[in-house]
């Protein structure tokens, strides 16, 4: 076997990239209304007026980023005194890093060692000298560590410009994220809001059929594969990324088996790998203390509960108190500051929202009311996954 042999092998794909979650198609299907709302918020910039800030939220895989990138593409095709700068907050997660990136992208200055005020002044000079409008897209805005300070800095800037100004487009997977903003940041950021609901099965079928037409050879993808991938994703989360990954992995499995048509059987085989991929991605983006709580729960799950006598099958369920004790022990061993039990409960709620854990009200056999917590994935695999991120 050599490279020539590998490259000469037949494939079900003609353009695998078209099935990637990072691919930006010409059409963003079933997001026309949401795209129009965002465009109407931005449109005043073409009349030399500062757009409102806008906050976009919805679960992962609901088309938020693709929609905004499609809008950016259209925005750049029309002449204006506006400039849109897209920032992935997974990579730039502090006020300093974001101001530094903005200064670099706008005026080509990104040297380390300067205070945030230096980058800020360069950005302000660029706006004032050209009467420009800067629209900053902060994707996964909830990851920014000092977000209130950043929003204060950027919104305050509009008090200092003669004409032009700064507007923010914030994108978040977490609907409850805005509750953590202080009053000033909340009122500034939520001038306009756009909600992206999960896709249903029929919408996912259309999205997958469109991408399959771009990505697979003619007649290489059976409708049974599209129907099953759409049905699974709709039932689980309504996440288009989940559906697309299943279809792409199914194609790779078909190639490995030298099958000429992708069918529902290949999707069934692909499902487990996709779930693991998405969990790893979700865990990687968690704030540190949520990772610590998840790690603590995996250790508890391996060691077992102190309360086995409370009823049948209780070995997989843990009381909030014992989870908090495990969390405190993990923080001590890793030399991390311990957060309060109230914060621990909040972290569990957020982990449940991401589908990583489940909480159950205690039934008979436990005195008083208590919340029981269960890990929804393999305890050993979760421990290894989170350990790799915490100890890297």
CATH architecture of the domain with range 32-195: 3-Layer(aba) Sandwich (3.40)
CB atoms within 10 A of CB 11: 16
pLDDT at position 311? 46
Query: What residues contact 152, with CB distance under 8 A and at least 6 apart?
Result: 184, 185
Q: What is the pTM of this model?
A: 0.81
For residue range 210-222, list pLDDT tens digits in order.
Answer: 999 999 999 999 9
CB atoms within 10 A of CB 107: 13
pLDDT at position 312? 45
Specify the DSSP class assigned to residue 240: H
Give the Cα-Cα-Cα angle 165, 170, 176 (nearest 5 degrees).
140
| Domain regions of the chain by residue span | 3-20+199-284, 32-195, 288-390
| Residue 188 or residue 197, greater confidence | 197
Give the Cα-Cα-Cα angle 39, 43, 200 (nearest 5 degrees).
5
User: To which H or E segment does residue 76 belong?
Assistant: helix 64-76
pLDDT at position 131? 92
| Residue 299 or residue 313, greater confidence | 299
For residue range 307-355, list pLDDT tens digits in order.
Answer: 554 444 555 789 999 999 999 999 999 999 999 999 999 889 888 877 7
DSSP, collapsed to helix, strand or coil, labels residue 55 as strand
DSSP, collapsed to helix, strand or coil, labels residue 84 as strand
d(CA 373, CA 375): 7
Mean pLDDT of all residues belonging to the chain: 89
Categorize the per-residue pLDDT at 369 as very low, low, confident or very high, splitting at 50, 70 and 90: low
> The tokens 């003609």 sit on which residue?
14
pLDDT at position 188? 80
pLDDT at position 120? 94
d(CA 80, CA 232): 44
d(CA 94, CA 99): 9
Residue 367 has pLDDT above 70, yes or no: no
Pairing relationship of beta strands 54-57 and 165-172 according to DSSP bridges: parallel
Domains 3-20+199-284 and 288-390 belong to one CATH topology: no
d(CA 208, CA 201): 10
pLDDT at position 363? 57
Query: What residues contact 163, with CB distance under 8 A and at least 6 apart?
Result: 48, 131
10 Å CB burial of residue 74 (0-12, 13-18, 19+) is: exposed
CATH code for 3-20+199-284?
Answer: 1.10.8.60
For residue range 173-183, list pLDDT tens digits in order.
Answer: 877 777 778 88
Can you say whether residue 181 is alpha, beta or left, with left for phi > 0 and alpha for psi between -120 and 50 degrees? beta
Contact 353, 328 (CB under 8 A): no
Fold classified for 288-390: Arc Repressor Mutant, subunit A (1.10.10)
């Amino acid at each position: 076997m050599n490279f020539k042999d590998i490259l000469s092998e037949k494939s079900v794909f003609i353009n695998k990239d078209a099935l990637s979650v990072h691919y930006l198609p010409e059409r963003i299907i079933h997001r026309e209304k949401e795209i129009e709302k965002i465009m109407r918020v931005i449109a005043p910039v073409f009349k030399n007026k500062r757009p409102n800030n806008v906050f976009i939220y919805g679960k992962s895989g609901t088309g938020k980023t693709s929609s905004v990138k499609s809008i950016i593409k259209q925005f750049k095709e029309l002449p204006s005194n506006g400039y849109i700068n897209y920032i992935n907050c997974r990579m730039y997660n502090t006020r300093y890093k974001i101001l530094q990136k903005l200064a670099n992208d706008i005026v080509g200055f990104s040297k380390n060692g300067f205070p945030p005020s230096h980058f800020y002044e360069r950005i302000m000079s660029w706006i004032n000298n050209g009467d420009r409008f800067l629209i900053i897209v902060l994707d996964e805005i909830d990851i920014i560590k000092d977000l209130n300070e950043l929003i204060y800095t950027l919104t305050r800037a509009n008090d200092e410009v003669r004409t032009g100004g700064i507007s923010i487009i914030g994108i978040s997977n977490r609907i409850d994220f805005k509750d953590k903003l202080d009053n000033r940041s909340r009122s500034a950021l939520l001038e306009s809001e756009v909600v992206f609901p999960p896709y249903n099965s029929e919408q996912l079928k259309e999205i997958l059929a469109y991408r399959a037409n771009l990505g697979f050879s003619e007649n290489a993808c059976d409708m049974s594969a599209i129907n099953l991938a759409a049905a699974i994703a709709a039932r689980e989360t309504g996440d288009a990324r989940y559906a697309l990954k299943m279809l792409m992995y199914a194609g790779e499995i078909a190639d490995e088996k030298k099958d000429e048509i992708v069918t529902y059987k290949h999707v069934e085989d692909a499902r487990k790998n996709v779930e693991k991929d998405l969990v790893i991605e979700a865990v990687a983006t968690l704030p540190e203390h949520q990772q610590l709580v998840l790690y603590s729960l995996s250790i508890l799950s391996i060691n077992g509960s102190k309360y086995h006598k409370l009823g049948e099958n209780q070995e997989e369920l843990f009381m909030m108190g014992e989870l908090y004790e495990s969390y405190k022990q993990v923080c001590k061993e890793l030399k991390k500051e311990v957060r309060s039990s109230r914060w621990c409960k909040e972290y569990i709620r957020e982990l449940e929202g991401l589908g990583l854990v489940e909480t159950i009200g205690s039934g008979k056999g436990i005195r008083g009311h208590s919340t029981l917590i269960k890990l929804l994935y393999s305890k050993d695999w979760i421990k290894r996954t989170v350990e790799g991120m915490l100890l890297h």
